[in-house]
């Protein structure tokens, strides 16, 4: 059974940093591109970042470019999102998702990140 389990969310002050993780199991993690998608409270889905299978290529939404870094550990089957210079606009639930056949076919339960003073 494919499972994606996020962790590391929490409360952080504006300007602070946080790293969230996504532990993958039930599939060959190293074969799949992975994505982060976020959802602010009461709002829609917003794509954040993606990384290819071997981490040789990554892409970011303009709103997080230069502040967020996506990475992965294909030995530990874990996806990461390092978030720096956080603002209140970054408050959201962050989902990791597996990319397969042109879509995001499995999603985690999300990690809640709250940026507030």
Partner 1 sequence: YELTQPPSVSVSPGQTASITCSGNNLSDRYAAWYQQKPGQSPILIIYQDNKRPSGIPERFSGSNSGNTATLTISGTQVIDEADYYCQAWDISVFGGGTRLTVL
Binding residue for partner 1, selected from 58, 69, 74, 107, defined by CB under 8 A: 107
Question: What is the 3-state secondary structure of the chain?
Answer: CCEEEEECCEEECCCCCEEEEEEEECCCHHHCCEEEEEECCCCCEEEEEEECCCCCCEEECCCCCCCEEEEEECCCCEEEEEECCCCHHHCEEEEEEEEECCEEEEECCCEEEEECC
**How far apart are CB 64 and partner 1 at their closest, in Å?**
12
Going residue by residue from 65 to 94, which x/- string records binding to partner 1, judged by CB under 8 A?
------------------------------
The answer to whether residue 112 forms part of the interface with partner 1 (CB under 8 A) is: no
Which parts of this chain interact with partner 1 (CB under 8 A)? Answer: 35, 37, 44-47, 50, 59, 61, 95, 101-110
């Amino acid at each position: 059974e494919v499972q994606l389990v996020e962790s590391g969310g929490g409360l952080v002050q504006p300007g602070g940093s946080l790293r969230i993780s996504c532990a993958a199991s039930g599939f060959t993690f190293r074969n799949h591109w992975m994505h982060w998608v976020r959802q602010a409270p009461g709002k829609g889905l917003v794509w954040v970042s993606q990384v290819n299978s071997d981490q040789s290529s990554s892409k970011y939404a303009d709103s997080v470019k230069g502040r967020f870094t996506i990475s992965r550990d294909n030995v530990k089957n874990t996806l990461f999102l390092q978030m720096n210079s956080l603002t209140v606009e970054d408050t959201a639930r962050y989902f990791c998702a597996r990319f397969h056949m042109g879509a995001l076919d499995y999603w985690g339960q999300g990690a809640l990140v709250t940026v507030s003073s």
